[in-house]
Structure 1
Amino acid sequence: MSIDPAATRCVVEPDKPSLADAVATRFVGKLVQLTQSQQAVHISLTGGSMGAAVLERAAAHPGVGMVDWSRTHFWWSDERFVPRDDAERNALQARQAMLDRLEIPAENIHEPAAAGEGVTLDEAADAYAAELARYGTDQRPWPQFDICFLGVGPDGHIASLFPDRGEVRISDRAVLAVRDSPKPPPERITFTRPVINSSVRVWMVVAGGDKAPALGLVLAGASYLSVPAAGAHGTARTVIFVDDDAAAEVPEDLIDPDY
């Protein structure tokens, strides 16, 4: 049966630890399957406490030994333009949680340039776009991500696409430099919406009662200009993994534990 990517569904877990465990288990299982059937698998990671928790649990999962890491490429939908060893750095969090704990080839980890490395913010964004293009297809100058992880902010932002800002409207570029971000740090690099929406699977991981109103707007079909998360869809499947607190405004008919 074909799946309508617009038919976003929610998988609800009781609390944050259960949520991280459930997403990690699905992630490892999907990686095993994909790396057995594809020559290259592209994963877009996200930052934040839940993003790191999922990766930490994935690294400890008994199934990781069945993943062909030589075929698995890791990217980030956005990155903070801070020094590489800054705790705010999404890539540092991911390395500490999983990437540096497993036998992943260094060339398969596609980390954007960092502040203090002799490049400007714009140069870092352009270099990241060029790296994406190295793995692009005939249809687009970027790889099609097999899984695109996203967090959702209380304001409904995803990656570094914030509500009612110019970045959410741009569709003719893969990567943007973001300045004066409403959430610190102020300088960032982000994928644009077309890159996210070309992903096969979009998995949003959302926890905490402060996210419930934004998630309610997403599922009510709000404008993506005002609630960017409402515009995030995978080509095959769009799943929002939530804990009970974040699910406070999720309609019962959109909850599907087997989706």
Structure 2
Amino acid sequence: MRSVVIYPDQQAVANATAARLGVTVADVIARRGAAHVVLTGGTVGVGLLASLATSPLAELIDWTSVHVWWGDERFVGAGDPDRNEGQAQEALLRHVPLPEENIHRIGNSDDFATAEDAASAYSAEIADHGGPGWDVLMLGMGPDGHVASLFPDHPVYAAAGDAEAVAVHDSPKPPPTRVSLSLASINRAREVWVVAAGAPKADAVARGLAGDRTLPVAAVAGTERTLWLLDAAASTQI
């Protein structure tokens, strides 16, 4: 069952999602003792992290009980501005008392010879933490309906294996080499949040909500809740 919430514009999506994330994480920690959150990149994904960093809700979270993961990463050097983890660091992580050992970064091309090696290491790190059922897994969505680095008609999406993380080559969106959580790993999340804004995404939103599984966004679902957080422009074809 998918729930859809529509906000007036992109900034409203970022601000409201930040507030929702803050409350959800605090509640999860109170119930379970720790929260495992999977972050996304992109304009809205980074914007919501920046909004949370300045929110009073950030002060209510026991950050020592939060574990941060990523849905995908660009396989480039550690300091490359394309890396999602660096953007998240600037937007939120350096502003909150999150222990370094709770930040689970996907490997970079300085430390690993291949994306396959980085994916294998990330899979091992996930296993070392018990293969957590992610409490909140956030996904941006491209105009083509891709999520994380799972693209329509790409062999990695079509393969749909059980590995936690997979290497992606020849991505249609640069940079071409990436590491992504697999569909199986994404769909282990208790809550999956698809965050999308802008008129260019309206067609993919409509097709995804209609269940067109040629689009990866249509194939993702949380075990407890699947939430689509949209702005008005992205919702015009629903």
TM category, shorter = over 0.9
CA apart distance, 1:143? 1.1
Residue number in structure 2 paired with 1:247 = 235
- Identity among equivalent positions (%) equals 40
Q: Which residue of 1 aligns with 2:208?
A: 218
**Is 1:17 aligned to residue 6 of structure 2?**
no
State which of 43, 49, 55 in structure 1 corresponds to 2:49. 55
- Give the residue type in structure 1 aligned to 2:51: R
Aligned pairs for 1:20-99 within 5 A:
20-99=14-93
Any idea what the Cα deviations from partners look like across 1:184-233, whole Å, max 9, x if unmatched? 0001001111111110000011000000000010111112xx20000010
Residue-by-residue CA offset, 1:53-108 (whole Å, 9 max, x unaligned): 00000111101111111111000010000112111100001101001111000000
Counterpart position of 2:224? 236
1:164 Cα deviation (Å)?
1.2
Structure 2: how far apart are the matches of 1:55 and 1:65?
14
1:173 pairs, out of 163, 182, 189, with: 163
**C-alpha displacement at 1:161, in angstroms?**
0.5
Q: 1:158 aligns with which of 147, 162, 165?
A: 147
Secondary structure of the structure 1 residue equivalent to 2:236 = helix
Are the aligned partners of 2:162 and 2:185 in contact in 1 as well (CA < 8 Å)?
Answer: no
Q: Which residue of 1 aligns with 2:103?
A: 109
The total of aligned residue pairs comes to 237
**Paired position in structure 1 for 2:215:** 227
Look up the equivalent residue of 2:172 and give its one-letter code.
P
Structure 1 contact 36–68 (Cα < 8 Å) conserved: no
Q: CA deviation at 1:118?
A: 4.7
Specify whether residues 126 and 209 from structure 1 end up closer, same or farther in structure 2 by C-alpha distance, changes over 3 A only.
Answer: same
**1:98-138 superposed Cα distances (whole Å, 9 cap, x missing partner):** 011110000000001111225322111111110000112xx
Alignment of 1:187-226 (within 5 A): 187-223=177-213, 226=214
**Preserved CA contact (<8 Å) 2:112 2:118:** no
Q: Measure, in 1, the Cα distance between the counterparts of 2:112 and 2:89.
A: 22
C-alpha distance in 1, partners of 2:9/2:102?
A: 32
For residues 151 and 119 of structure 1, the distance between their equivalents in structure 2, rounded to whole angstroms, comes to 28
